[in-house]
Structure 1
Amino acid sequence: MKSKFALSFLILFAGLTFSQPNEELAKNIEQLNKIYSEAMINNDTKTMMSLYTNDVLSLPSYQPMIRGIETLRNLSEQIENSEWKTTSFDMKTIDLIPAGDFIIEIGNYKMKMSAPEVPEWNDEGKYITVWQKQEDGNLKIRVEMWNTDLNPWLEMQNLNSNKE
């Protein structure tokens, strides 16, 4: 009877241990997300690109897949040089799933953007980031995917109705 109790306790304890996120890992990713957010607000493509692997895959909303750091850099520089500016960008990690040299981060984001002669645009949605541990121990983004929770057609409809 004691051995069944001990085995049950061990299984329960192991389950609880593996389901709890590693605090150090969570703090590390929170810090990386803060750097990323600040870089977006400051239109700092160089800092943003330092957070990605060379073979990054990016899967943005309403756009084709982006392969490789150079393609991502070119697109990011186009945005940096446009009139659109990110005025706030907040990320909240909901879950971290360690998988060997990878950490899967699932979260929510909220952001605001502006451009001349356009009302401030708010967006919120969800994301998945696959962080890959590098040889030096740092984490870099290997895969990212995000999409909005807002219906852009409804938002455009609302903008047009407000102009009338």
Structure 2
Amino acid sequence: MSLKDISAVNRQFEQAVRDADMDLLASLYTSDAIALPPDGPVVRGRSGIKQMWTAITQQAGLTDVRLHTLDYEQSSRTGCEVGEATLTLSGGTAVVKYVVAWKRSKGVWRLHRDIWNTKGA
């Protein structure tokens, strides 16, 4: 994994949000991925993650996201990314911080564990 690999998937993630393509968005995760949204339940698997992002998009009016990697570390089949995301919502913009554990699955890098929360002042 390299920053180039992470960036390529992150650009797909951003485009999927802009296009409201929840199938593409969910496909960027491993089949056994886990997401930990702020103030929400643990979400497991692509189906659950698709439902989660659909709800976020509908409830918060998410129309765009810009991901910015601050740091990453890697080993042979896994990696860890720390970053910030700027979200465009119906009520304005929000900046969140996130950690993604990446895993190589079937020859491609996918989000395996995903957690984020609001960025304090």
TM-score norm. by structure 1 comes to 0.67
5+ residue gaps in structure 2? Answer: none
Render the CA deviation track for 1:91-110: whole Å, top value 9, x for unaligned.
11011110231010111111
Larger Rg: 1
Greater percentage in helix:
1
CA contact (8 A) 1:123 1:150 kept: no
Greater relative contact order (Cα < 8 A, sep 6+)? 2
Q: Distance in 2 between matches of 1:69 and 1:90?
A: 22
Query: Which of 110, 113, 128 matches 2:99?
Result: 128
In the alignment, is the contact (CA less than 8 A) between 2:43 and 2:52 conserved in 1?
no
| Cα shift at 1:128 | 0.5
Say whether 1:147 aligns with 2:117.
yes
Specify the alignment match of 2:69 in structure 1.
93
In the other structure, the counterpart of 1:32 is 9
Alignment of 1:4-15 (within 5 A): none
- Which protein is richer in strand relative to its size? 2
Q: Which moved more, 1:71-80 or 1:126-135?
A: 71-80
Identity of aligned residues (%): 24
Aligned residues: 121
Q: Give the SS at the match of 2:7.
A: helix
SS at match of 1:28: helix
Preserved CA contact (<8 Å) 2:65 2:86:
yes
Alpha-carbon distance in structure 1 between the residues aligned to 2:73 and 2:6:
12
Report the TM-score, using the length of structure 2 for normalisation: 0.88
Does the CA contact (< 8 Å) of 1:93 and 1:108 recur in 2? yes
SS state of the match for residue 74, structure 1?
helix
- Structure 2 residue aligned with 1:5: none
SS of equivalent residue, structure 2 residue 5: helix
What do residues 129-158 of structure 1 show as CA deviations (whole Å, max 9, x unaligned)? 1110123x210111000011158xxxxxxx
Residue matched to 1:54: 31
Secondary structure at the counterpart of residue 63 of structure 2: strand
| Alignment gaps of 5+ in structure 1 | 1-21, 115-119, 152-164
CA RMSD of aligned residues (A): 1.9
Q: Which runs of 4+ in 1 moved over 3 A?
A: 77-80
Q: In the TM superposition, what whole-angstrom CA distance separates every residue of 1:63-109 from its partner, at most 9, and x where no partner exists?
A: 111112222222333445x3643233111101111023101011111
